[in-house]
Structure 1
C-alpha cells in the first residue's frame, strides 16, 4: 500500500529583515497507514514548521508532499479533508459549552444540525467525556480540554491525525490517559497519528517509529528500540535541550533551586 504521508525534499525558507532563514531544509519521510510516528527534535529543529506544511497551514518553498494521496499544493482541500490537526495551544472557545463547540465544528464540515449533534454525542462517548457536554470549555481541566481538542479534530473522521506536543503541561495522570486515547485511535479505528513531542518517554511508549530532526533535516530514523541500540547517547545529545537540569543548594532551599531547560 502507498504511504499515507509522503514527503520528498520538503523545505521552508522564511524571508526576514536579516536575510533568509531555512527552517526546514529538505525533509524526506514516509508514514504508513495505521502507524504512530513520533517526530522529535530540539527547539527550533523545524518540527512545527513541518507539521504546519503537511496540514496546509503553511505553503512549502521547496519539495513535494502528499497526505492520503492529496498533494499539498495542488489539492489542499483534499489534504484538509483527510487530516485532523491539534495545535500546541488548542483552539476551543472558553465561553461556550463543549456540546456547542463540537456541534459548531460539525457544521463547519457541512454536517446537518442533527448529524452534528449526533457526532458530538458519539465523540464525547468514545473519548470518555460524555458527562462534560454541557460544561463550558473554559471550565475544563487541561486533560479534559485536550480530549476536546482531539474530538474536534476527529469530527470529520480523518484518516490522519496530527498532534503537536499534545501532552505539554499535563500532569502525569492526564498524560497517561491521553496516551491510552492515542493508542486506541490507532488500534480501534486505524487512525494514522503524526505526533511531535519533546518527551523521550512519550515517544518511546507511543511510537511505532521515530523520525528525529535537527536544524531542519532528518538526522535519525527507525523504531525506538533500533534507534536506542544503534545510536544511544547521540540521540540524547541531539535532544539535550528537552531535559530539565535542576540544581539544589541543600534541603532547606530546594524549592528555590534554579531550573535550566
Structure 2
C-alpha cells in the first residue's frame, strides 16, 4: 500500500456565516495524480490555500509527508511545487532568470541549481526562449514558464491549479505530457481543471466537491458506475412506429426510449447486450436501420448528475 502524502481530516473553514469547507476529509497517496473537481465556489481553492498554510482554518488537521503542516513548516514546503492559475513571474527577468530565481529559493548549491534550471527549461520546451522576457511570450509559453518555475527544484508534491486555461492545443498537450512525465518520475500531483477530458486523461483518482464538501471520490470508472446511465444507444431510422418504440422502452435495463428527428435514443442502466436486443426488435419489425452508435457516460455526465450543475456554474 502506498503511503499517504496528504491527509486532510475534518477541515472546517468559515468566513463569517459562510462555511467554505464543511468537515472535508481527503487522503492522497504517494504516486497519484489526484483530480480535485468542483463548480466555482465549491471550495477547491480554499482547500489548496489551507493545504499550503496560506489560510488559517477553524477546525481539523492537515498532514503532508506524515508531518503536521504549518506556516513555518519550511522543511515540508521545500518539497512542494505550486503552479496556480494566475501566472506569477517577474516581468523584468528573462525566462532563464525567472526559473533561476524560483529554483534558488530552495536550492543554494550553484552547480546543482544550474543543472536544475537547465533541466526545467528543457522539460517545458523553452530552450529557444531562454532570453525572452515574459511579455514577449504567447499565453501557452507563459504557462510553460510558470510550470518550470514551480517544478525546477524537483518537488515531491506538485499542485497545479488550472494550468491549461486559455492556452493553444499544442501547449496544452505539452503541459499534460509534462505532468504525466513528472508523475512517472515519482512526483505526486494534485490537479484542478475545468476540462473534464484532461482529468479523464491524466488523473488516477478524483474527488468531486460541492459547497465545501466532498460528495464523491474514486477512479473515473468508479465514479461513472455511480450514475444511472451506463450506455446510450443511438440508431438512425427512417421511421419508428409508436408500438415499436414502446416495445424497446419495455426492454429490461432500458429506462428511456425516444424517437426524435429520425434518431432513436435508448438510455440504458446496467445490463449486457443492450444494443443487440434493441437491434433484434427493429429487425423483427423489418425497419430500415441506418447508423448505429453507442456512447458510454463521461466524467462530465457524472459531474452533472452528482452536482446538478455545469462545472463552471456559480453557486446560488
TM-score bracket, shorter-length normalisation: 0.7 to 0.9
Contact 1:83 1:159 in 2 (8 A): yes
Q: TM-score, normalised by structure 1?
A: 0.85
Deviation, structure 1 residue 127: 2.5
Instruction: State the distance in 2 between where 1:135 and 1:111 align.
Output: 24
Deviations for 1:54-92, whole angstroms, at most 9, x for unmatched residues?
A: 122112221111111221238632331121111110211
Contact 1:93 1:138 in 2 (8 A): no
Q: Which residue pairs with 1:62 in the alignment? A: 59
Note closer, same or farther for the CA distance 1:137–1:71 as it changes in structure 2 (3 Å cut). same
Q: TM-score, normalised by structure 2?
A: 0.71
Instruction: State the distance in 2 between where 1:195 and 1:80 align.
Output: 18
- Greater RCO (CA < 8 Å, at least 6 residues apart): 1
Verify: 1:48 aligned to 2:49, yes or no.
no
Q: Which residue pairs with 2:201 in the alignment? A: 205
Deviates more, 1:216-225 or 1:2-11: 2-11
Instruction: State the distance in 2 between where 1:106 and 1:221 align.
Output: 34
Verify: 1:236 aligned to 2:304, yes or no.
yes
Note closer, same or farther for the CA distance 1:113–1:12 as it changes in structure 2 (3 Å cut). same
Instruction: State the distance in 2 between where 1:93 and 1:179 align.
Output: 24
SS at 1:230's partner residue? coil
SS at 1:5's partner residue? strand
Q: What are structure 2's unaligned runs of at least 5 residues?
A: 230-300
Note closer, same or farther for the CA distance 1:125–1:239 as it changes in structure 2 (3 Å cut). farther
Q: What are structure 1's unaligned runs of at least 5 residues?
A: 245-261
Q: Which residue pairs with 2:11 in the alignment? A: 10
Deviations for 1:16-69, whole angstroms, at most 9, x for unmatched residues?
A: xxxx32111111111111110000000000001001111221122211111112
Q: Which residue pairs with 2:182 in the alignment? A: 185
Query: Which protein has the larger Cα radius of gyration, Structure 1 or Structure 2?
Result: 2
Deviation, structure 1 residue 171: 2.3
Q: CA RMSD in A?
A: 1.9
SS at 1:241's partner residue? coil
Note closer, same or farther for the CA distance 1:146–1:239 as it changes in structure 2 (3 Å cut). farther
1:106-121 alignment, distance < 5 Å: 106-121=103-118
Contact 2:119 2:152 in 1 (8 A): no
Contact 2:36 2:206 in 1 (8 A): yes
1:69-148 alignment, distance < 5 Å: 69-73=66-70, 76-148=73-145
Note closer, same or farther for the CA distance 1:71–1:137 as it changes in structure 2 (3 Å cut). same
Contact 2:176 2:202 in 1 (8 A): yes
Stretches of 4+ moved more than 4 A in 1? none
